[in-house]
Amino acid sequence: MATTSARTLKLLSIFGTGATLSAEELATRLGASVRTVRRDIDTLRDLGYEIEAVRGAGGGYRLGRATRLPPVVFDEDQAVAAAVALQTVPTILSGIRENSARALATLHQAMPARSRVHAEAFTVSAARNYWEFPSPPIHAEIVRTIGSAINRRHLVRVDYTGDGEPVALTLEPHDLVVWAARWYLVAFDRDAHGWRVMRLDRITPRLPTHTPFDRRGIPHNDPVTFVMTTHDRGDAAAEWQCRGSAILALPASTVAPFAPGGSTVEYDTEDSCRLTLGAWSWPGLAGLLLTFDADITDIEPPELRQALHSLHNRIRKGLTDD
């Protein structure tokens, strides 16, 4: 990189946007001649960057896929974003902490002082919200295996552990979604002939199948929406000092996106569902149920019913005093 000029680095940054630009457009952006631009493109190619020439209308030059890992150039905002990502990734992926620490150290060493200050401003200690119960970090190899199958559109055979013994499944993996600090797989189950949302930490991949499949249209045309509105996604109620449940007069798909972390939503009827959740106190748990602004029945255990009676009496007294 010692012979690479500032202009060539700027050219690489322009290519990093993914745009296809003509030599004339690049020359205008760089304030240089077309001949100079073509010479700088040759320099980047010598350094290992795959700069493709695109012919025809709307053609020009673009950054292609490299056959080896060349030097990478970030602008200041990109460097800060990468540093923040490297600091947070070990909280959701296991087996990657050492590599991310090495990458972060390399990035910090190459950063100007001002960029380092900006990146370090995002360094915080992990703290868990009262309502968040993320699963343990997923091992990076599981994400890599399933993610590779998604990208290649290959069937996967997995062992899935739900409430009982592991079950062997053959799936068409479509998307990975991280929501509420948990990893989920959106897949089409060939045996059940239907779509499923599954916790990734409950999946053990088997050997690759290398069997291709055709991608299908995902419900709601959005994997994130599908995960959020699916009540049966493998979640389990977290251990709380106080834990209870009730039937809510709302559809399971309506309650699912707003159920606190560490709770479960079970289908009851088309217009009702059972919500099981916990809190640090029975009044706190009762208050959570009331936030759904729906009729509640079949309330368990007795301590939760008593807490609701107490809240009712306090609220009635407060309204009477007014």
Summarised one tens digit per residue, pLDDT across range 188-230 is 999 999 999 999 889 999 998 999 999 999 999 999 999 988 9
Query: Can you tell me whether residue 100 is helix, strand or coil?
Result: helix
- Specify the pLDDT at position 303: 96
Task: Provide the token pair at 98.
Answer: 């050492």
Task: Provide the token pair at 55.
Answer: 């012919």
Count of C-beta atoms within a 10 Å radius of residue 206: 13
Q: Specify the CATH number of the domain 242-321.
A: 3.30.70.250
Q: Specify the CATH number of the domain 6-63.
A: 1.10.10.10
Mean pLDDT by 10 residues, the chain (322 residues): 63 79 90 90 84 84 69 70 72 72 76 69 47 66 88 94 86 89 90 93 91 94 91 82 94 90 89 92 93 95 95 88 62
The DSSP H or E segment spanning 231 is none
Nearest to 18 by CA among 61, 72, 49: 61
- The CATH architecture to which 139-229 belongs is Roll (2.30)
Length of the chain: 322
DSSP annotation string for 164-221: SS-EEEEEEEEEEEEETTEEEEEEEETTTTEEEEEEGGGEEE-S----B----PPGGG
* Crossing angle (nearest 10°) for helices 76-88 and 97-110: 160
- Which residue matches tokens 């013994």? 165
Give yes or no on whether 139-229 and 242-321 have one common fold. Answer: no
Distance of alpha carbon 216 from alpha carbon 174, whole angstroms: 8
Q: In Å, how far are 135, 243, 247, 293 from 278, measured between CA atoms?
A: 16, 4, 15, 18
Distance of alpha carbon 286 from alpha carbon 108, whole angstroms: 48
Nearest to 169 by CA among 141, 194, 135, 133: 194
* Number of alpha carbons in the 13 Å side-chain half-sphere of residue 137: 13
Distance of alpha carbon 296 from alpha carbon 285, whole angstroms: 13
Q: So where are the chain's domains?
A: 6-63, 76-120, 139-229, 242-321
Inter-residue contact 144 to 185 (CB < 8 Å): no
Nearest to 111 by CA among 83, 90, 85: 83
Q: Is the dihedral of CA 58, 62, 65, 67 positive or negative?
A: positive
Inter-residue contact 100 to 91 (CB < 8 Å): no
